[in-house]
């Protein structure tokens, strides 16, 4: 197959699907070989392939907040290690200040060399949310951390595999040699090995493509796929209008965004000037997370089947003042920025563009555990209504795309019981098009454990648009074994005793248009 300066439309479609297929195959291997419930059952992971410069080419439809930020991790590795990277090496990174999102999301990066093992031609990477990576609370999602050190172990382009040899002793030492060490290092090691296996599948599939089509053709179509995504985003921008939005969170922090459309260049400026400065809490979102949220929003505006990739960013200029909560300075805590603030960014952008009311705007991060057990889940809620569509009941929205653990698996692996799980009637905002309803989840504890909730929209309603009503706020509360009830803030740590029930009522989505 000869390489040309212009893509053949049929071949472009073939390569788009081949690249995405490779990432999907990586995800299947990761799910099948992982040890933790978090990766194996909740599917809290993402896989993607990158070109030689570390730019995202294609991904499987996994977790948006992972996928839009992973390129920053790969490029950090290239800048940091450069010519020292050798065939057979695998690197591990979760540094929020080097392309990471928060510490539980650990990325394994594998370079793909040519047949002579002289030149790196691609990269593959997989990011998995570890059930525990240390920190001040089991599950590594502490509601009240104030520095990144309190959130767990930091890997910064750590050499996990050296020329084919897994460095288990060194990895375990890093997991344990910390003021707040990992609670289950053997499970961490098992999941890291699963990520290595997933990456190896990606390497194999890319090498098959090179063998079949030739290296120059594969590289050319990597660029064509990105160019195609760029043009698709420019077409979406063509029909947008300037807009601005300010959205406050429960902690009184605010996201301020202004979108300015340039008709001549078919581009957009997304300016977060005016957003709250860096917080003393953990709701700071690393710059890579903010970029991922912008990338996600503009990808969803594209009415075409394109893989999320670096081309989507080319028409976008993103302005994020350094030192604000969307571009914090080390060692700011960030664990909630990835899961909560990212949702607020997305809704603020949709509000500025006038296309969709707010979703539940939170992942309702629930963790519990002790030295023996560690568990993490995100809980669905209502999605926002938009032009010509209602919101959806009980769904994970926007920057999360994970699922809940099956009750049978959860109750087998952990000393808890799902007492009930149902839709929360009338929690979606009314309007010409109504927002989706949230859910009510009640978990009974069969052993004493520490439980944590990290959430938003317990005070501020998810907004409606064009006269639509806002969604109902969520609630977190405990029903003690003796019948007493304790109501909790948006973020809380609580000691659960045998027979206590933790109740999470998630928010509804906002309505669109007057009813």
The overall average pLDDT reported for the chain is: 95
Element (H, E) at 407: helix 407-413
How far, in whole angstroms, is CA 440 from its chain's centroid?
A: 23
Is the peptide bond preceding residue 184 cis, with omega within 30 degrees of 0?
Answer: no
Give pLDDT, residue 69.
79
DSSP E strands in 320-462: the ranges are 365-369, 374-377, 416-423, 439-445, 449-454
pLDDT digits (tens, 9 = 90+) for 228-277: 999 999 999 999 999 999 999 999 999 999 999 999 999 999 999 999 99
Residue 124 pLDDT > 90, yes or no? yes
pLDDT beyond 90 at 200: yes
What confidence tier does 83 reach under pLDDT thresholds 50, 70, 90? confident
Residue 121 has pLDDT above 70, yes or no: yes
Taking 70 as the threshold, does the pLDDT of residue 296 lie above it? yes
Q: What is the mean pLDDT of residues 103-112?
A: 97
Question: Is residue 1 scored above 60 in pLDDT?
Answer: no
Residue 283's pLDDT band (cuts 50, 70, 90): very high
Query: Three-class SS of residue 401?
Result: coil
State the pLDDT confidence band at 44, using cuts at 50, 70 and 90. Answer: confident
pLDDT of residue 99: 86
Give the model's confidence band at 146: pLDDT under 50 very low, under 70 low, under 90 confident, else very high.
very high
What's the pLDDT tens digit per position in 304-356? Answer: 888 888 999 999 999 999 999 999 999 999 999 999 999 999 999 999 999 99
Percent of the chain surpassing pLDDT 90:
89
**Assigned token pair, 106:** 């650990």
Does the pLDDT at position 399 exceed 50? yes
Identify the three-state secondary structure at position 323. Answer: coil
DSSP line for 287-299: HHHHHHHHHHHHH
Contact criterion met (CB below 8 Å) for 457 and 508: no
DSSP assignment of 359-396 equals ------EEEEE-SS-EEEE---BPPPPBTTB---SSB-
What pLDDT score was predicted for residue 401?
A: 77
Residues 403-440: tens digit of each pLDDT: 889 999 999 999 999 999 999 999 999 999 999 999 99
Does residue 67 surpass a pLDDT of 70? no
Output the pLDDT for position 60: 77
State the distance between the two ends of the chain, measured CA to CA, in whole angstroms: 58
**pTM for the structure as a whole:** 0.94
Report in angstroms the alpha-carbon separations of 412 from 198, 405, 509: 27, 11, 33
Residue 3: per-residue pLDDT: 53
* Res. 2: pLDDT tops 60: no
């Amino acid at each position: 197959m000869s390489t040309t300066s212009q893509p053949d439309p049929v071949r472009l479609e073939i390569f788009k699907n081949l690249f995405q297929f490779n990432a999907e195959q990586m995800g299947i291997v990761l799910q099948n070989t992982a040890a933790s419930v978090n990766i194996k059952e909740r599917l809290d992971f993402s896989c993607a392939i990158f070109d030689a410069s570390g730019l995202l080419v294609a991904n499987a439809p996994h977790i948006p907040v992972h996928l839009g930020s992973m390129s920053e991790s790969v490029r950090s590795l290239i800048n940091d290690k450069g010519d020292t990277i050798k065939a057979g090496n695998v690197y591990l990174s979760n540094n929020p200040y080097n392309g990471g999102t928060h510490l539980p999301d650990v990325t394994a990066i594998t370079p793909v060399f040519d047949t002579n093992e002289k030149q790196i031609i691609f990269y593959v990477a997989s990011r998995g949310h570890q059930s525990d990576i240390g920190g001040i609370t089991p599950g590594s999602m502490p509601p009240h951390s104030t520095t990144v050190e309190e959130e767990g172990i930091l890997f910064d382009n750590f050499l996990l595999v050296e020329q084919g040899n897994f460095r288990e002793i060194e990895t375990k030492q890093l997991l344990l040699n910390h003021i707040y060490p990992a609670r289950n290092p053997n499970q961490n090691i098992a999941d890291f090995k699963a990520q290595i296996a997933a990456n190896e599948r990606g390497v194999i599939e890319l090498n098959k493509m090179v063998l079949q089509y030739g290296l120059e053709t594969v590289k050319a179509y990597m660029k064509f796929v990105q160019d195609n995504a760029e043009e698709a985003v420019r077409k979406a921008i063509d029909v947008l209008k300037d807009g601005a939005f300010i959205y406050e969170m429960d902690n009184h922090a605010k996201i301020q965004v202004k979108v300015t459309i340039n008709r001549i260049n078919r581009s957009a400026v997304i300016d977060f000037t005016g957003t709250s400065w860096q917080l003393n809490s953990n709701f700071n979102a690393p710059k890579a997370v903010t970029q991922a949220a912008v990338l996600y929003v503009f990808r969803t505006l594209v009415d075409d089947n394109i893989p999320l990739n670096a081309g989507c960013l080319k028409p976008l200029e993103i302005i994020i003042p350094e030192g604000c909560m969307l571009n914090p300075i080390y060692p700011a805590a960030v664990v909630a920025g990835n899961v909560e603030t990212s949702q607020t960014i997305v809704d603020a952008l949709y509000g500025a563009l006038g296309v969709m009311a707010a979703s539940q705007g939170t992942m309702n991060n629930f963790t519990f555990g002790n030295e023996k057990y560690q568990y993490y889940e995100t809980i669905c809620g209502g999605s926002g209504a938009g032009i010509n569509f209602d919101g959806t009941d009980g769904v994970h929205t926007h920057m999360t795309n994970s699922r809940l653990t099956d009750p049978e698996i959860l109750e087998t692996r952990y000393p808890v019981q799902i007492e009930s799980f149902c839709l929360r009637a009338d929690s979606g905002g009314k309007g010409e098009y109504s927002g989706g309803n949230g859910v009510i989840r009640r978990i009974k504890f069969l052993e004493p454990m520490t439980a944590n909730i990290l959430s938003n929209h317990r005070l501020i309603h998810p907004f409606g648009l064009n006269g639509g009503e806002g969604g109902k706020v969520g609630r977190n509360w405990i029903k003690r074994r003796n019948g007493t009830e304790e109501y909790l803030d948006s973020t809380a740590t609580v000691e659960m005793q045998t027979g206590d029930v933790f109740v999470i009522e998630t928010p509804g989505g906002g309505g669109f248009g007057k009813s």
